[in-house]
Amino acid sequence: MDPRGLIMVHPVWQVASTLLGFYAAWFGIKRLRSLHLGHQVSFPRARHVLLGKLALMGLILGTAGGAIMVRWMWRGWLVTGAHAWLGMVVAVLALLGLTTGLVLERRPRPRRALPLLHGLANLTLLALCLVNFYFGDHILDALGD
Ligand code: HEM
Ligand code: HEM
């Protein structure tokens, strides 16, 4: 494959995973409303779990893929500054979101604190992904794409 095509795999993958994350968040916010605000809204749990897993695993793989591409192209780890460091924060939050999500899925019981931690970690990482779109676009500019 031509190297320019290869460089675009990571941005396209990350944007797609982030969009899946927002779709999962749409259902997650329904749960937040029913659990903490007393609103009568249904929560499609299975759909939320499936979309959430696809999004978070996609983001973790895509972030690792970006780092491996940079290592391969520029022979160094985390050389792109803000984009790389924000990526590390996203990966850590995604691991936290995934592990807390798995506990909530597999050991269901009435809880308030863990779902809140889970929801805040995941909503924060989605916001950071949007910021990283901006820094990622600068890398593409620097590469002349
Ligand atoms: C981008 C991905 C995700 C986002 C944005 C997200 C967001 C949320 C939010 C906002 C809530 C409501 C929290 C609350 O009421 O305090 C929630 C609940 C929940 N999430 Fe996620 N989540 C994601 C991924 C996942 C994954 C991967 C799993 C499972 C492996 C999962 C399982 C659950 C479960 C089971 C609940 C309901 C908890 C309960 O009823 O006590 N989520 N999520
Ligand atoms: C979900 C959001 C994203 C995260 C968490 C993320 C994370 C990362 C990380 C950790 C690296 C390795 C940096 C290094 O080692 O110095 C990287 C590389 C890179 N990122 Fe991102 N990124 C995201 C979205 C984007 C977007 C939307 C673009 C483009 C608009 C982009 C463009 C790039 C480029 C061009 C590279 C160089 C390697 C490659 O293309 O595979 N990234 N990214």
Q: Render pLDDT for 29-67 as a digit per residue (tens, 0 to 9).
A: 999 999 999 999 999 999 999 999 999 999 999 999 999
What is residue 29's predicted lDDT score, i.e. its pLDDT?
A: 98
What is the rounded CA–CA span in Å between residue 111 and residue 1?
49
> Is the distance from the beta carbon of residue 67 to the nearest atom of ligand 2 less than 6 Å?
yes
What is residue 2's predicted lDDT score, i.e. its pLDDT?
A: 63
Domain ranges of the chain: 3-142
What is the rounded CA–CA span in Å between residue 29 and residue 129?
18
In terms of Cβ atoms closer than 10 Å to its own Cβ (0-12, 13-18, 19+), residue 135 is: middle
List, for the chain, all residue ranges whose pLDDT scores fall below the cut of 70: 1-3, 145
User: For ligand 2, what atom is nearest to the CA of residue 143?
Assistant: 35
Contacts of the segment 110-118: beta carbons below 8 A, 24+ positions apart: 112/35, 112/36, 115/31, 115/32, 115/35, 116/32, 116/36
The answer for residues whose C-beta is within 8 angstroms of residue 48's C-beta and 6 or more apart is 24, 27, 28, 31
What is residue 144's predicted lDDT score, i.e. its pLDDT?
A: 83
What is residue 36's predicted lDDT score, i.e. its pLDDT?
A: 95
> Is the distance from the beta carbon of residue 15 to the nearest atom of ligand 1 less than 6 Å?
no
Ligand index nearest the alpha carbon of residue 82: 2
Tokens representing residue 41 in the block: 């809204």
Count of beta carbons in the 10 Å neighbourhood of residue 3:
11
What is residue 5's predicted lDDT score, i.e. its pLDDT?
A: 81
Tokens representing residue 109 in the block: 């019981």
Test site for ligand 1: of 98, 118, 120, 126, most ligand atoms within 8 A of the Cβ: 118
> Is the distance from the beta carbon of residue 94 to the nearest atom of ligand 2 less than 6 Å?
no
What is residue 94's predicted lDDT score, i.e. its pLDDT?
A: 99
pTM: 0.96
What is residue 4's predicted lDDT score, i.e. its pLDDT?
A: 74
